[in-house]
């Protein structure tokens, strides 16, 4: 059975990628499951979808914990633990990363033994949440790596799955997907089917027996107030709003009041953006009366911060996590 997990951000077409790959495998004669992770999959947030394909009926369900192929559409997610891109990798897993960096760089950074391939990223877009047609591109590359999908079957799957988006969109996606398919030709068929997992081999974890508590104790009651600040929604951000304090008029209410996420606080008449939680919607930049807030691509901002901390010789803070 093939087990494939595709990681990206909400808005990059990751769910669509799994549908295209699923359809293509179906046309190639496989039984197929494909599904996105259901939850709060908002634009820019780390999300994933997955595909299972086998010649025999598939009895497995749920998230894939032992993937044969992991596709990462946006390399900024590799540094985000919450995205879980590296979950369950082993020596046989092939990792395909859409990146400007080299395979060696990522192998070293991630300390990966298995096979890591690069899908060369196209021209960089400012806003990674809007990476054009990256879902179909990833599906095309993945189809080639599996080695069981022909080029025309891939094209057919894209035509079917994207039909409702109109002929222009279909054509663009098909062109990109086939180009990615061709770009992977040297590696065609490098992904091996994983072994069947049987429930009979299941070894339960070492349990800690817990006594049943009364409902008052065990019910999901939240006992702290305002603790959502523990959730770092700043991870979703693909564009970073930056305040130019030389031009800020210290009007104090506009950006702070209109920020949907309460992520701008005002201290001493000066607005401060909370980058741990700012989702990068850029509403503030649009409403700032003196236009003192500008957008910077998040990956560039992080690169700048990293090189800055390295130069200063200070401890590299957890900026990579943001």
Partner 1 sequence: MSEQRINRMKDLPSTHLLGTGTPMCSGCGGLEALHQIYDVLGEKTVFVNAAGCMTLLSVYPFTPFRGSWLYTAMASAPAGAQGVRDALDILQQRGDMGPQEDLDVVVLTGDGSAYGMGLSATSAAMDRGLDFIYICYDNEGYGNTGQQSSSATPHAAITSTSGGSRGYPGYKKDLFSIWAAHRPAYVATVIGSEPLDLARKIEKARELKGSRMIIALAPCPTGWAYDPKDSVEIGRLAVKTGVWPLKEYIDGQLVHTRIPRERAPVEEYLRLQGRFAHLFTPATNTAMIAEIQARVDRYWDEVV
245-276 as b/e: b if 16+ CB within 10 A: eeebeeebebbbeebeeebbeeeeeebebebb
Q: Which is nearer to partner 1, 196 or 229 (CB)?
A: 229
Distances 26 to 144, 147, 154 between C-alpha atoms, Å: 15, 14, 10
Query: If binding is defined by CB under 8 A, does position 140 make contact with partner 1?
Result: no
**Min. distance of Cβ 210 from partner 1 in angstroms?**
17
Site residues (CB under 8 A) for partner 1, limited to 223-282: 224-233, 236-237, 252-253, 256-263, 265-266, 274, 276-277, 279-282
**Min. distance of Cβ 24 from partner 1 in angstroms?**
24
Q: Which is nearer to partner 1, 265 or 303 (CB)?
A: 265
Q: Which is nearer to partner 1, 268 or 315 (CB)?
A: 268
Q: Which is nearer to partner 1, 135 or 194 (CB)?
A: 135
Q: Which helix (H) or strand (E) holds 72?
A: strand 69-72
Q: Which is nearer to partner 1, 99 or 238 (CB)?
A: 238
Instruction: Write the interaction track for partner 1 spanning residues 29-48; mark x where CB under 8 A is met and - where it is not.
Output: -----------x-xxxx---
| Distance, CA of 162 to chain centre | 21
Question: Distance from first CA to last CA of the chain, Å, rounded?
Answer: 35
Question: Tokens standing for 283?
Answer: 């509403």
Q: Which residues, at least 6 apart from 38, have a Cβ–Cβ distance to it below 8 Å? A: none
**Min. distance of Cβ 265 from partner 1 in angstroms?**
6
Q: Which is nearer to partner 1, 50 or 236 (CB)?
A: 236
Cα Rg of the chain, angstroms: 22
> Do residues 237 and 281 lie in contact, with contact meaning Cβ atoms separated by under 8 Å?
no
Binding site for partner 1 (CB under 8 A): 40, 42-45, 220, 222, 224-233, 236-237, 252-253, 256-263, 265-266, 274, 276-277, 279-283, 285-287
């Amino acid at each position: 059975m093939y087990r494939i997990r595709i990681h990206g951000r909400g808005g990059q077409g990751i769910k669509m990628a799994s549908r295209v790959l699923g359809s293509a495998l179906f046309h190639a004669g496989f039984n197929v499951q494909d599904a996105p992770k259901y939850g709060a999959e908002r634009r820019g947030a780390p999300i994933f979808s997955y595909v299972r394909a086998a010649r025999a009926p598939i009895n497995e369900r749920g998230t894939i914990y032992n993937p044969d192929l992991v596709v990462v559409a946006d390399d900024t997610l590799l540094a985000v633990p919450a995205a879980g891109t590296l979950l369950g990798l082993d020596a046989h897993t092939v990792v395909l990363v859409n990146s400007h960096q080299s395979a060696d760089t990522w192998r070293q950074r991630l300390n990966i033994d298995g096979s890591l391939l690069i899908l060369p990223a196209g021209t960089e877009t400012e806003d990674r949440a809007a990476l054009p047609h990256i879902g179909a591109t990833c599906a095309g590359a993945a189809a080639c790596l599996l080695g069981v999908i022909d080029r025309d079957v891939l094209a057919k799957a894209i035509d079917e799955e994207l039909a409702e988006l109109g002929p222009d969109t279909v054509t663009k996606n098909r062109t990109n997907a086939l180009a990615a398919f061709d770009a992977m030709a040297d590696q065609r068929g490098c992904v091996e089917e994983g072994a069947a997992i049987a429930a009979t081999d299941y070894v339960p974890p070492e349990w800690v027996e817990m006594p049943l508590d009364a409902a008052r104790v065990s019910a999901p009651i939240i006992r702290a107030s305002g603790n959502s600040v523990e959730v770092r929604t700043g991870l979703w951000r693909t564009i970073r709003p930056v305040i130019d304090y030389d031009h800020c008029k210290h009007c104090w209410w506009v950006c702070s009041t209109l920020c949907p996420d309460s992520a701008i606080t005002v201290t001493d008449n000066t607005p401060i953006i909370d980058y741990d939680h700012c989702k990068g919607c850029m509403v503030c930049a649009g409403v700032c009366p003196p236009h003192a807030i500008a957008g910077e691509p998040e990956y560039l901002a992080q690169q700048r911060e990293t090189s800055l901390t390295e130069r200063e010789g200070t401890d590299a803070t957890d900026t990579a996590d943001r």
